[in-house]
């Protein structure tokens, strides 16, 4: 199974937006920071890859939650910010997007 960034954002919106909204932007940002700290900790302690993957997934989910609260489409924002890199990627893959 694979998901685009837009689909990941929609999954998190459907599952958690009401809770995120009730919590508010700043408290949701604090959760993101906490998850980043947990990621740093498992990497620093050289924990098993599975634990690192779980923390990366948590960081992504909380980042997406913040974007949802700000009504920002992360996929669009990424393409806008890294357009040249995205275009180079598609050229190297012999695809046009």
Residue-range domain boundaries for the chain: 5-71
Instruction: Report how far residue 30's alpha carbon sits from residue 37's, in angstroms, rounded to the nearest whole number.
Output: 11
Asked if residue 14 has pLDDT above 70, the reply is: yes
Asked if residue 97 has pLDDT above 60, the reply is: no
Instruction: Report how far residue 57's alpha carbon sits from residue 43's, in angstroms, rounded to the nearest whole number.
Output: 14
Q: What confidence score (pLDDT) does residue 95 get?
A: 65
Asked if residue 13 has pLDDT above 60, the reply is: yes
Instruction: Report how far residue 93's alpha carbon sits from residue 21's, in angstroms, rounded to the nearest whole number.
Output: 39
Asked if residue 30 has pLDDT above 60, the reply is: yes
CATH superfamily of 5-71: MazG-like (1.10.287.1080)
| H-assigned helices in 5-48 | 5-23, 25-44
Q: What are the pLDDT digits (tens) for 33-89?
A: 999 999 999 999 999 999 999 999 999 999 999 999 999 999 999 999 999 999 999
């Amino acid at each position: 199974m694979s998901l685009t960034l837009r689909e990941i954002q929609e999954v998190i919106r459907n599952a958690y937006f009401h809770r995120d909204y009730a919590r508010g932007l700043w408290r949701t940002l604090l959760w993101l920071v906490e998850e980043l700290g947990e990621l740093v900790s498992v990497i620093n302690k050289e924990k098993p890859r599975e634990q690192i993957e779980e923390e990366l997934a948590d960081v992504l989910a909380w980042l997406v939650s913040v974007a949802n609260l700000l009504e920002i489409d992360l996929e669009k924002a990424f393409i806008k910010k890294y357009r040249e890199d995205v275009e180079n990627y598609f050229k190297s893959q012999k695809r046009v997007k």
